[in-house]
A and B are shown apart, each in its own frame.
Chain A
Amino acid sequence: QQQVKQSPQSLIVQKGGISIINCAYENTAFDYFPWYQQFPGKGPALLIAIRPDVSEKKEGRFTISFNKSAKQFSLHIMDSQPGDSATYFCAAVSNYQLIWGAGTKLIIKP
């Protein structure tokens, strides 16, 4: 029940395209859903986050879509750029614990 399932494991997108990463959870106690971006050799950094009372949050080219009834949320990267190539992790928070997805390695082809 504590799992967060993330897909796909890897993703290749052409420059300018839309990158979509999906996550699903089961624990309804989760109350905060962040996405983290990690470049090689670096720690993860918060990219964007959403609470379950909101269905969508947009920050620049990054959008989280949240479907509370389906217990699913997704990250959309519009106009994907080579600099977006990184590993992306979804996560869910219950109390003080972050439960992490397994990560998606995103490659943007120029």
Chain B
Amino acid sequence: GAGVSQSPSNKVTEKGKDVELRCDPISGHTALYWYRQSLGQGLEFLIYFQGNSAPDKSGLPSDRFSAERTGGSVSTLTIQRTQQEDSAVYLCASSIQGLAGGNEQFFGPGTRLTVL
């Protein structure tokens, strides 16, 4: 298991329900990122964790979105009261440290979220 893993791979939920998406970064990577990718679109930055620093939440689209990273490793992205416009692929990436210096981000396969 050398790569970034995400679960579930697919999630179908009803509008108004809460969902939790999980990301397991590469061991030893201190930086973790969440992105959202809508069909045929580029990646939209959501949130960034770096070590023990306060996360950069500037990309979260609304207060229904939150994320945490426990013990500097696993991260959970939570979407409350899901809406149909939340349907997208949610991608997690990790890197050895922050991108200053050009450290490569390694991406997981994503979680495809469908809100009915």
Please pick, from B43, B50, B100, B109, the residue contacting A100 in the complex, using a CB distance under 8 A. B43
* Given A96-B31, A101-B42, A102-B41; A43-B107 close (CB under 8 Å): yes
Encode contact with A along B85-116: 1 for CB under 8 Å, 0 otherwise: 00000010100001110101101111000000
Q: Which of A72-110 contact B (CB under 8 A)?
A: 89, 93, 95-103, 105
Contact B43 A45 (CB under 8 A): no
- Chain A residues with Cβ under 8 A from B33's Cβ? 98
The dominant DSSP class at the B interface is loop
Q: Does B40 contact A (CB under 8 A)?
A: yes
Instruction: Give Cα A46 to B94, complex, Å.
Output: 12
Contact B110 A43 (CB under 8 A): yes
Please pick, from A42, A44, A96, A99, the residue contacting B50 in the complex, using a CB distance under 8 A. A96
* Given A98-B45, A103-B41; A43-B109 close (CB under 8 Å): yes
- Which residues on A are within 8 Å of B, measured CB to CB? 6, 32, 34, 41-46, 49, 51, 89, 93, 95-103, 105
Q: Contacts A6-B42, A98-B99, A99-B45 known; list 5 others, CB within 8 Å.
A: A43-B93, A89-B42, A95-B100, A97-B99, A100-B42
